[in-house]
């Protein structure tokens, strides 16, 4: 009887504790309305967003994931129809981000901790066929080496999905490159083509980004274009071509978190947690390897990270 009574007391105690935690979480959440986090079309962004979303759920928040276009999402963030975007890359999204933040309706919540690189990339075996690499000025000398039956005598550059931005078509025109830009339909198609070409040591020149598993699995290098500057993108007179903008490489820099400016008032705890999110390139690349190379389900990778890093994400929720 004592044992049974003790179990009941313990059960009541746990129930009471759960009620306290629930009440605390409810107060912390401030609003039961769903916080809408945007999902895009590359593995790292899905991982970053779902890790943040699942942590917010641990804090008692109602979370909804919404598929959204990378650049077009800023209209939803400004209107408050969307609430949080976990990856805005300095390389491709800075212009749209700054414009949105300038309206006062979108807030930059700081860096994710990851540093973005996105640029034209080639496998190391192409250096024998194009000795001037990685200098961009060697590209025209080797255009036919990078060409395909569809593009010859021009070379072929495999760009990212058009929704990612990046100004590659403009860059080809401004730098007078004898290349045709062919955009991959999806992130998966982009890297499937790299995988196939690399195994055959076939010519390929394409958009590669980091953090990503490709830079760990394959040996290669990024093309060294004229150094990026904001003026190069905005002032045609700046750069090697006095008549056209985008005659330089892509910027590098942080991957940013942004939110609808109303988040800080409606969900102040979530606002603080998102600001605290921090992960470096190596950590994210290891997770991407699990999903893309090892074939683990993204949700399983996320839950594995949650389980193994409780001490980390609990600090975000403080």
- pLDDT at position 5 over 60: no
- pLDDT tens for residues 199-240? 999 999 999 999 999 988 999 999 999 999 999 999 999 999
CA distance 300 to 50: 11
Distances (CA, A) of 50 to 27, 43, 64, 186: 23, 11, 10, 20
Could you read off the pLDDT of 181-209 as tens digits, one per residue?
A: 999 999 999 999 999 999 999 999 999 99
Band of residue 34 on the pLDDT scale cut at 50, 70, 90: very high
- The residues, any chain, with a CB within 8 Å of residue 31's CB and separated by 6 or more, are 266, 267
pLDDT, tens only, 48-98: 999 999 999 999 999 999 999 999 999 999 999 999 999 999 988 988 999
Q: Which residues are CB-neighbours of 269 under 8 A, at least 6 positions away? A: 28, 29, 30, 59, 61, 317
pLDDT for 12 beyond 90: no
pLDDT band at 4 (very low <50, low <70, confident <90, very high): very low
Helix (H) / strand (E) containing 226: none
Residue at token pair 């590669």 = 208
Spatial separation of the C-alpha atoms in residues 274 and 112, rounded to whole Å = 9
Strands (E), 124-192: 155-159, 179-183
Give the integer Cα–Cα distance in Å for 30 and 268: 7
Report pLDDT for 20.
42
DSSP of 262-281, one letter per residue?
THHHH-HHHHHHHHH----H
Predicted model pTM: 0.77
């Amino acid at each position: 009887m004592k044992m049974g009574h003790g179990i009941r007391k313990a059960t009541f105690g746990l129930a009471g504790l759960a009620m306290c935690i629930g009440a605390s979480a409810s107060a912390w959440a401030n609003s039961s309305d769903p916080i809408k986090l945007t999902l895009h079309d590359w593995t790292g962004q899905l991982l970053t967003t779902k890790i943040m979303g699942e942590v917010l759920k641990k804090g008692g928040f109602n979370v909804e994931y919404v598929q959204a276009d990378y650049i077009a999402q800023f209209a939803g963030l400004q209107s408050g129809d969307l609430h949080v975007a976990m990856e805005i890359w300095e390389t491709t999204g800075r212009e749209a981000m700054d414009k949105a933040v300038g309206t006062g309706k979108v807030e930059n919540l700081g860096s994710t901790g990851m540093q973005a690189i996105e640029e034209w990339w080639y496998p190391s075996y192409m250096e024998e066929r194009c000795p001037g690499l990685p200098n961009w000025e060697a590209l025209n000398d080797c255009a036919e080496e990078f060409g395909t039956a569809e593009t010859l005598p021009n070379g072929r550059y495999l760009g990212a999905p058009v929704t990612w931005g990046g100004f590659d078509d403009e860059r080809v025109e401004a730098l007078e490159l004898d290349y045709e830009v062919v955009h991959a339909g999806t992130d998966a198609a982009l890297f499937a083509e790299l995988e196939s070409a690399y195994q055959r040591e076939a010519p390929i020149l394409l958009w590669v980004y980091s953090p990503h598993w490709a830079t760990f699995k394959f040996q290669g290098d990024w093309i060294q274009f004229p150094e990026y500057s904001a003026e190069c993108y905005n002032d045609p007179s700046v750069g090697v071509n006095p008549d056209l903008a985008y005659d330089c490489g892509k910027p590098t820099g942080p991957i940013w978190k942004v939110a609808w400016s109303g988040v800080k008032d409606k969900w102040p705890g979530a606002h603080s947690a998102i600001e605290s999110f921090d992960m470096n390139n190596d950590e994210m690349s290891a997770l991407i390897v699990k999903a893309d190379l090892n074939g683990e389900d993204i949700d399983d990778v996320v839950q594995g990270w949650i389980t193994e890093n409780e001490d980390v994400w609990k600090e975000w929720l403080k």
